[in-house]
Chains A and B, each alone.
Chain A
Amino acid sequence: MSPLLFFKRMIARELPRYTLNVLVWLMFYTSPIALGLLTRMFFDSVSNQSEAGVNLWGVVVGFITIAAFRSASIVMGSWTDADYRFRITSRLRLNLMRVLISSPGEAVSGSPSETVNYFRDDVNQIDDTLTGLLDAICIFIFGMLSFFIMMRINPFITLWVMVPLMLVLLLVHLLSGRLQSLMSDSRDSTSALSGFLGDIMQIVQAIKISSAEKDIVSQYGLRLNSNRQVMLKHHLFNQAMRHASSNIVQIGTGFILLAASIGGADGRMTVGDLSLFVIYLSYAAEFIQFFGKITGDFKQAKVSIDRLQRLIGRPKMHGVVGRASLLNSPVMKRPEPLELLEVRGLTYKYPVGNKGIWDIGFTVAKGEIVVIAGKIGSGKSTLLKCILGLIPIQEGEVRWNSQVMIQSEAMVSPAVAYVAQSPAILSGTLEENIRFGLDDITEAEVQEAVQYAALNPDVSLLNHGLQSQVGSGGIMVSGGQKKRIAIARAILRCTDLLVLDDFSSGLDNATEEQIRQHLYADGKKGCIIATHNTNLLRNAHRVVVLSDGKVEAIGTPEDLMVRNETFRTLVQQPVSSIDNDC
């Protein structure tokens, strides 16, 4: 999406607020017009020496009025500016989040903090460009107005002043590309330098035992030195351009004087005219600065927009910036109650390496507990994610009562609930983490889920019970508690299909036994559970043994005990030694 189209769409959503904001700032940016005219009046009256000509207090009142007017428009403009910009960017942020949640997990390939960067740096860049755009519009209008007035006062001198102004503008435009590349050089060099420092700090021991301190320090010095050259180059260039535009006032004034001297009759001007010209010139100089900034900003914004597009995909980008509000997505229609889930020929290969799952097939009926077993790295979690549509199915299908499920839409609550291998516990209260958005469910049902997940002894020990805070990332609760909170969360959803990744890690035998009994007694759900837990392996309705991403055997535990070697070793290993690995 081009930046222009992007900004057009974004602004279209907040058009009334945007228009108001433009109007307020236009008042601010065009007020120097009056300032110039007033000053001109003052000087012309003083120089005429006519006593009656000068209405001093009129001028002073005029001045104060302009000051008040300018101040008021700054305050008002700050408010309207913050308002519309925040509305635009916050909607962008919300819509991005909405898209991330609804697209398969593969979309977010980087670390969470990398993904946060999109929300921070890229959205902020777009925010900056929005302001820059507005300033540019306003200053352009001021420029036109002042040009018109100056032309009326003295066209000859006006055209003369335009010469240096246009030259600098041209210069800024021509060199902005070079400036950009110098800036990125300077940034790259600086970040490479701190990368080197970080590397040094990683290998301190190696440095010490090789007694290489001296050489390392002098190498660091050398690199600092060459970084200095790059930074200075960028600085000089940048400053030259900035000074050129701020100095345009002085040089322009010089040109006015020059034009007045050589223009003869054409160059005739009063001191008042001079003062007006100089005032307009000083505000026009801002234009050059903004002009340089907005070209740079636009280039940066393009990069950011492209990045966002890469994150969520081109088709969704239109949804994100389009008119439609994504605040509430349509509630999914609950599929008919599950009788039989069929997994057929499911295949997913990771883009890098040779890991994945190939041609997996099995069924889960209502009330059945199917256990996925296999050594570490055999593809258990991948299989679960693929069934849930968290990673795309490359081949094969998942059928719900013989209806083919459309991947990214169907496998969500209320039909399905999921307990991840290391469940996410979010800062907030325990209850918030269990409800996870289900606000209309009764307290009694929450208690029931807590009971189911064998969390009640833990809850009763807490000072605030279910209202206790779990801390950022669930830092206040143990690994086993996290697991059980997530189980309670899943149970509360009254689902047809429960998917549990890694059932028993962090659970002691008694609690694990308790939950297991609840699962057996349930009978209303189909369960798919990946686990090493020997009790569960022995007592499942069916076990799917995976090995290197392929089905090695499927059958009842008794059956597999007889004919499958992998299953036997999995069942015979002591529980603790394996679960520690997860």
Chain B
Amino acid sequence: MRLAIRGYMKLYAVYLAAEWKKMIALSILLLTGTLIQLANPQLLKLFINHSMHESGYQSILIPLMFILLSIATHLFSLGASYLGLFIGLKATNALKVDLLRHSLSLKMSFYDRNLPGSMIERIDGDVNPLVHFFSQIVVSITTNFLVWTGIIILLFLEGWQIGITMLLFSAVAFYIIIRTRKLIIPYWSKLRELTTEYYGLLQERISALDEIRVNGAANYTIRLMSKLFDRWLILQRKAITWGSIPWVVSVMLYQMAMASAFIICYYLSRHGAISLGSIYVVFYYSGLLIKPLEDIRIEMDNLQQAEANIKRVNELFSIEPEEQKSSISWKSLLHYSIRYEDVSFSYSTSGNLLLQNINIHVKHGETLCILGRTGSGKSTLARLLTGLYKPKSGRIVIGDVQVEEITTHELRDGIGYVTQEVQLFHGTIRDNLTLFNPSIEDFQIIQAFDELGLTEWYRERDKGLDSLIGPTNSKLSSGEAQLLTVVRVFLKDPKIIILDEATSQLDISTELKLKHAIQRLLQGRTGIIITHRIELTDLADCIMILDQGNVSESGSMQELSNQTNSQYRQLLARGIEGGQP
């Protein structure tokens, strides 16, 4: 518990510090609102004692004041509620932004294990309930406590006997409120289990509708569900009935408070120690006594829930980001040759090596074409170069500097990398291409379209760059989607180009068009083309064939095609025959 409290304080300190002015405003609003709310009944007392006792009720001052103060209470609590949510949302939004920033800084291997769905849950789902935590819980507990204390003080002012009675009463009441809460929990969790069972059963049957129908299991299915409903009905009735206990307690306590007020006021009035107005106010305040206690209990529950969420948030924060020991600037490199020296790699910590002692050298301004079957480790080579994964052993050098030592974002900025995976999202064409980089101008995009033969496609879009596309959009063929990801590379000025199966979804004529564009792009740049198609090899200066994590062949195109028994020659022969590898 102490740990939890420290956790709260830390989050509070970090995310509410910026909002301290609003926090103070909120406290003032709440405090004033509470004071007015508590003071208002005093007007009733005045009214009863002065106006009602005398023959006429001429004074409309008190009623008007009363209405005014009521409206003021309304406005104050409305303002507080608004401000509370404002602060809460600001804090949680800041927390979400930090979580996203942190998540994006994590290693790629983290994303191999965590699916997008669960990440939404961790950033969005876990934080949303904390709005209440930031904006309400502490404030609500404090105000409710203030209201309660205020009432007790005011009751003491009416008579110490009244104060003592109500103080004792609320102590007992609070104890009972806390106790009854514990009574109902088991039923609810049983009910939740049954509900889960039902929806599981239902989903299973719904996916088997055809077979149920043809094989004549309709009555059987309905019978099965009906049996579950029989069990559910019994439990539901029990759970709901037990669940009404807190409500019963609340009603009982409220009436008891009133009854106690009556008893004590009656005795005081017999001794003439209390005015009628005072009796009325005591009665009024007593009616208000239970609710703050119940609210405090509810907030304590909420706090417990928030605790679980905070724990999950902190867990995500505690995952180590990608190492950033890099310091050497990309621009300071003298040239952009690429060297893999004895590089080995595996995605799992214990599994077989996917790449084994790979040695590659691509000279500055030259292009290497890597051929090989699926699963031979081609894409991994590219991922290692961009630092998405780190080699198990060996090193990768660009210019004369090891990849790890180059500032990560500069490294990735300097490499134009078209991945095999076509990654688009629901959004405008512009946003998909620039990934929200504001420095990319529209004309640059249109120019790139031109170069890649996408102009005609682009003209057909109804809203130009603002047209919406998505990852699974029927308006977008898989080839068009792939071309769009190639556009991203044309929007920057990289020193190194990596194309990983960048033409796999394209038909022959489109590929040919793209090939020319790529040829222009590769001029003066170092390039790696990964493909299982033979067609792109003539863009390369040298060729390497990767087989099961080993370099099985490498050399210039000339050399390899001259070797009589080279794999490359075999590939070439098959390619020319028109077959696909």
Given contacts A75-B241, A210-B435, A247-B73, contact A67 B256 (CB under 8 A): yes
Q: Which residues of A contact B384 (CB under 8 A)?
A: none
A232 & B100 in contact (Cβ 8 Å cutoff): no
Partner among A119, A197, A390 whose Cβ is within 8 Å of the Cβ of B100: A197
B401 nearest CB across to chain A (Å) = 18
B259 & A60 in contact (Cβ 8 Å cutoff): yes
Across the interface, name the chain B residue whose C-beta is closest to A257: B63
Bound complex: CA A81 to CA B236 (Å)? 10
A560 nearest CB across to chain B (Å) = 28
Interface residues of A in 68-90 (CB under 8 A from B): 70-71, 74-75, 77-79, 81-83, 86-87, 90
B208 at the binding interface (Cβ < 8 Å): yes
B564 nearest CB across to chain A (Å) = 31
Bound complex: CA A71 to CA B250 (Å)? 9
Bound complex: CA A174 to CA B211 (Å)? 51
A216 & B104 in contact (Cβ 8 Å cutoff): yes
B48 at the binding interface (Cβ < 8 Å): yes
B259 & A436 in contact (Cβ 8 Å cutoff): no
Given contacts A257-B62, A261-B58, A472-B200, contact A235 B85 (CB under 8 A): yes
A555 at the binding interface (Cβ < 8 Å): no
Bound complex: CA A424 to CA B217 (Å)? 12
Interface residues of B in 228-261 (CB under 8 A from A): 229, 232-233, 236-237, 239-241, 243-245, 247-248, 251-252, 255-256, 258-259
Q: Which residues of A contact B116 (CB under 8 A)?
A: 198, 201-202
B119 & A201 in contact (Cβ 8 Å cutoff): yes
B82 & A236 in contact (Cβ 8 Å cutoff): yes
B521 at the binding interface (Cβ < 8 Å): no
A253 & B44 in contact (Cβ 8 Å cutoff): yes
Bound complex: CA A426 to CA B217 (Å)? 12
Interface residues of A in 385-438 (CB under 8 A from B): 385, 388, 390, 411-414, 416-418, 420, 423-424, 426-427, 436-438
Bound complex: CA A250 to CA B71 (Å)? 8
B541 at the binding interface (Cβ < 8 Å): no
B42 at the binding interface (Cβ < 8 Å): no
B89 & A228 in contact (Cβ 8 Å cutoff): yes
Across the interface, name the chain A residue whose C-beta is closest to B48: A271
A542 at the binding interface (Cβ < 8 Å): no
Q: Which residues of B contact A113 (CB under 8 A)?
A: 203
Q: Among A100-108, A290-298, A546-554, which stretch is in contact with chain B?
A: A100-108
B255 & A66 in contact (Cβ 8 Å cutoff): yes
A204 & B232 in contact (Cβ 8 Å cutoff): no
Partner among B63, B108, B243, B262 whose Cβ is within 8 Å of the Cβ of A205: B108
Main secondary structure of the interface of A (DSSP, over half): helix
Bound complex: CA A112 to CA B438 (Å)? 42
B246 nearest CB across to chain A (Å) = 10
Q: Among B164-172, B417-425, B506-514, B522-530, which stretch is in contact with chain A?
A: B417-425
A381 nearest CB across to chain B (Å) = 11
Interface hub of B212, B233, B259, B270 (most chain A Cβ within 10 A): B212
Bound complex: CA A427 to CA B208 (Å)? 12
B215 & A417 in contact (Cβ 8 Å cutoff): yes
Given contacts A74-B251, A390-B214, contact A271 B276 (CB under 8 A): yes
A535 at the binding interface (Cβ < 8 Å): no
Bound complex: CA A161 to CA B65 (Å)? 17
A101 & B216 in contact (Cβ 8 Å cutoff): no
Q: Which residues of A contact B199 (CB under 8 A)?
A: 116, 119-120
How many chain B residues touch A (CB < 8 A): the figure is 127
B81 at the binding interface (Cβ < 8 Å): yes
B573 at the binding interface (Cβ < 8 Å): no
Partner among B90, B276, B410, B426 whose Cβ is within 8 Å of the Cβ of A199: B426
A209 & B436 in contact (Cβ 8 Å cutoff): no
A202 & B237 in contact (Cβ 8 Å cutoff): no
How many contacts A-B (CB < 8 Å)?
Answer: 366
Q: Among A6-14, A91-99, A132-140, A516-524, which stretch is in contact with chain B?
A: A91-99
B84 nearest CB across to chain A (Å) = 9
A240 at the binding interface (Cβ < 8 Å): yes
Across the interface, name the chain B residue whose C-beta is closest to A244: B74
Across the interface, name the chain A residue whose C-beta is closest to B433: A210
Bound complex: CA A195 to CA B104 (Å)? 17
A200 & B425 in contact (Cβ 8 Å cutoff): yes
Bound complex: CA A81 to CA B252 (Å)? 21
A112 & B207 in contact (Cβ 8 Å cutoff): yes
Q: Which residues of B contact A493 (CB under 8 A)?
A: 215-216
Given contacts A228-B90, A418-B215, A436-B215, contact A209 B388 (CB under 8 A): yes
B531 at the binding interface (Cβ < 8 Å): no
Bound complex: CA A385 to CA B105 (Å)? 50
Q: Which residues of B contact A472 (CB under 8 A)?
A: 200, 204
Given contacts A328-B222, A418-B214, contact A210 B412 (CB under 8 A): yes
Given contacts A213-B105, A472-B200, contact A204 B124 (CB under 8 A): no
A60 & B263 in contact (Cβ 8 Å cutoff): yes
B213 & A86 in contact (Cβ 8 Å cutoff): no
Q: Which residues of B contact A108 (CB under 8 A)?
A: 206, 209
A388 & B97 in contact (Cβ 8 Å cutoff): no
A4 at the binding interface (Cβ < 8 Å): no
Given contacts A46-B276, A198-B117, A210-B435, contact A424 B208 (CB under 8 A): yes
A510 at the binding interface (Cβ < 8 Å): no
Q: Which residues of B contact A105 (CB under 8 A)?
A: 209-210, 213
B85 & A232 in contact (Cβ 8 Å cutoff): yes
Partner among A197, A221, A329 whose Cβ is within 8 Å of the Cβ of B123: A197
Given contacts A56-B262, A81-B240, A215-B438, contact A258 B214 (CB under 8 A): no
Across the interface, name the chain A residue whose C-beta is closest to B131: A231
A102 & B436 in contact (Cβ 8 Å cutoff): no
B357 at the binding interface (Cβ < 8 Å): no
Interface residues of A in 322-343 (CB under 8 A from B): 326-329, 332
Bound complex: CA A35 to CA B210 (Å)? 60
B219 & A328 in contact (Cβ 8 Å cutoff): yes
Interface residues of B in 47-104 (CB under 8 A from A): 47-48, 51-52, 56-60, 62-64, 66-67, 70-71, 73-74, 77-78, 81-82, 85-86, 89-90, 93, 96-97, 100-101, 103-104
Across the interface, name the chain A residue whose C-beta is closest to B125: A194
B173 at the binding interface (Cβ < 8 Å): no
Q: Can you report 20 residue pairs joining A to B where beta carbons are below 8 Å apart?
A: A39-B258, A56-B262, A59-B262, A67-B251, A75-B248, A83-B233, A86-B236, A108-B209, A195-B426, A196-B427, A211-B410, A220-B97, A257-B44, A261-B63, A274-B48, A329-B219, A390-B210, A413-B216, A424-B208, A437-B220
The 5 closest A-B CB pairs, nearest first, are: A437-B220, A413-B216, A424-B208, A254-B67, A199-B425
Given contacts A102-B213, A414-B216, 17 further A-B contacts (CB under 8 A): A56-B263, A67-B256, A90-B229, A101-B209, A101-B222, A200-B425, A201-B120, A208-B104, A208-B108, A209-B412, A209-B419, A216-B104, A216-B436, A239-B78, A261-B60, A412-B214, A418-B211
